[in-house]
C-alpha cells in the first residue's frame, strides 16, 4: 500500500481558485478601473468646490515675495551654471 503525503507547499483543493474566476480576472480588473474612473470623474465635477455659490476666490498669482528669503546681498547665479 502506498501512502501519499502532501508536501508543505501543496494547496488543499478547497483553496484553489476556480478556473472560471481565474480566466475572468482581466474583466474584473477592467471593471475596477472603470469604476475608479467613474468615481474620479464624479469627484471632479463638483458644482461649487469652494463651498459658496459664486464666491470670488483671490488669485494666487502674482505670488508675494517672502521677506524671510531675501537675497541678503548675494549675487544671482549665472544661468549657464544653473543649467549644467
The cell numbers describing 29, all together, are 480588473
DSSP class of 62: S
Is pTM, for the whole model, over 0.75? Answer: no
Percent helix, percent strand, percent coil in the chain, to nearest 5? 40, 0, 60
Please write the tens of the pLDDT for every residue from 18-49: 888 888 889 989 999 999 888 887 766 555 55
Cell numbers of 69, please? 528669503
Instruction: Please report the sign of the dihedral spanned by the C-alpha atoms of residue 72, residue 78, residue 81, residue 84.
Output: positive
Amino acid at each position: 500500500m502506498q501512502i501519499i503525503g502532501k508536501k508543505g507547499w501543496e494547496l488543499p483543493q478547497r483553496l484553489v481558485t476556480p478556473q472560471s474566476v481565474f480566466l475572468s480576472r482581466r474583466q474584473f480588473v477592467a471593471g475596477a478601473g472603470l469604476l475608479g474612473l467613474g468615481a474620479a470623474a464624479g469627484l471632479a465635477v463638483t458644482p461649487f468646490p469652494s463651498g459658496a455659490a459664486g464666491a470670488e476666490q483671490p488669485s494666487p498669482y502674482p505670488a508675494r515675495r517672502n521677506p524671510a528669503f531675501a537675497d541678503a546681498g548675494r549675487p544671482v547665479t549665472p544661468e549657464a551654471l544653473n543649467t549644467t
